[in-house]
Structure 1
Amino acid sequence: MGEAKRRQAELRDQLLRKADQWAFPPSQWEADTVAELKTLPVVTVERMSAQDIAYMRMPASECHGNCRWYEANDPTGTFRAVVGWLVDPEGNYVLHSVVSDGANYGCITPTVSDRRPFFEFIPDSKIAWQDGDDGYRHAIRDGHAIGPGVRGDPEKTIADVAEIKRKLLAGVHPLKAIEVV
């Protein structure tokens, strides 16, 4: 298999896993969390250039670890990891971490699907980290484990991810398959 086909197959597998993660059943906790998030202050985050991120060798899909590492290794000691919610164009709130010097916010994690140079972000001081029995740290809010995020319209998101999965499984190129219907 050629390198391009291998990368495409890996991206397809990754997107299928992410689609499954967003297909969880709606809950009252999710609805209450979304209602609360709509009342919290929103900040604008600048995404670092792809070249700068590549230079730093930050792994994709590891925003929380990337930001903790950046905070611990910032020679100025001014940047802190901030956990909260990336507001996506479909109205979902994606659990995400960025870095901030107290005035400016920056995203240092590479992405394949979201190329926006700026995005809305809601810092959330109610999110805590808990070590799990599986050896991983898990984000917790109001006593509930947070998966990939919460959905503004769960039924629409579930339908959208079902369509994305259908396209991926039918062999549509992964970057085309994730275009929202």
Structure 2
Amino acid sequence: MEQEATTVAAGTAANIELADLIQRNVDSMAFPPSEMEAATYEEVSALPRVVVCRPSAEELLATGFVHYDCHRNCAEQAANDPDGTSRQITGWLPHGEDLILHSVAIIGNQWICLTPQLVAAPNRFEFIPDPHLEWRNADGGATRTAFRHGNEVPKALRRDPGRHIRMRGEFQALVARGHSVIEARDLMATSAFRRSNVGSE
């Protein structure tokens, strides 16, 4: 009975964490468009890609890495590697038509993603290393911000910013009508799938 209660509590905590992540992602992808974002998207899209491996979430969590904190995970791996063979590489993770700012590690000669996921994800994926990105310290070194050619970069580069802005409005409307954040995410995914397949047959 005690084990069952512990399992339920763990599941509830995971759902709360997932709901918070979904809300933050929806909000963070709906920022205003800019010419800088559009130009950077085109430039980054032309860069070479590599294939990165991702160990299981269980293995990564057991090692001490944190969900969805890729930049810190890789920076700490590089700083604490006693052999000095680890390097943090920051670039872009293709996600549909969007490019998500992401960090992976090169350990020896292997490209590895050190960030466990709450949602099942492929154990191999394409990644775009960006040699023009640099990290700058802020708040006395408490935080770091990514810059490219002297400009602070957003957390994502979007091919169609207007779509994300519209999607946030639809998402907020679903939540306002009483759907949970996770339900709203699933409904949005279904409706997006239907829209993308209209007239495809």
Q: CA deviation at 1:103?
A: 3.8
How far apart, in 2, do the equivalents of 1:101 and 1:5 lie? 35
What is the rounded CA distance, in whole Å, between the counterparts of 1:168 and 1:56 in structure 2? 36
Which structure has greater helix proportion? 2
> 1:67-107: CA deviations, max 9, x gaps?
0111122233222110000111x211111100114643110
Distance 1:6 1:79, change over 3 A: closer
Q: Number of aligned residue pairs: give it.
A: 179
CA shift for structure 1 position 117 = 1.3
Deviation at 1:173, TM superposition (A): 5.7
Q: What is the rounded CA distance, in whole Å, between the counterparts of 1:78 and 1:47 in structure 2?
A: 18
Contact (CA 8 Å) 2:75, 2:88: kept in 1 or not? yes
Q: Secondary structure at the match of 1:95?
A: strand
Contact 2:19–2:182 (CA under 8 A) maintained in structure 1: yes
Instruction: Compute the TM-score of the two structures, normalised by the length of structure 2.
Output: 0.78
**Equivalent of 1:91 in 66, 86, 97:** 97
Q: 1:102 to 1:8 in 2, by over 3 A?
A: same
Counterpart-to-counterpart distance in 2, 1:16 and 1:29: 25
Query: Matched residues in 2 for 1:176 and 1:19: separation?
Result: 11
- 1:64 and 2:71 matched: yes
Larger mean CA deviation between 165-174 and 61-70 belongs to 165-174
Residue 133 of structure 1: how far off its partner (Å): 3.9
Residue of structure 2 equivalent to 1:171? 179
> Corresponding residue for 1:21?
28
Check if 1:126 corresponds to 2:102: no
Q: 1:104 to 1:22 in 2, by over 3 A?
A: same
Equivalent-residue separation in structure 2 for 1:9 and 1:37 (angstroms): 34
- Structure exhibiting the larger radius of gyration computed from Cα positions: 2
Look up the equivalent residue of 2:113 and give its one-letter code: C
Query: 1:167 Cα shift?
Result: 4.2
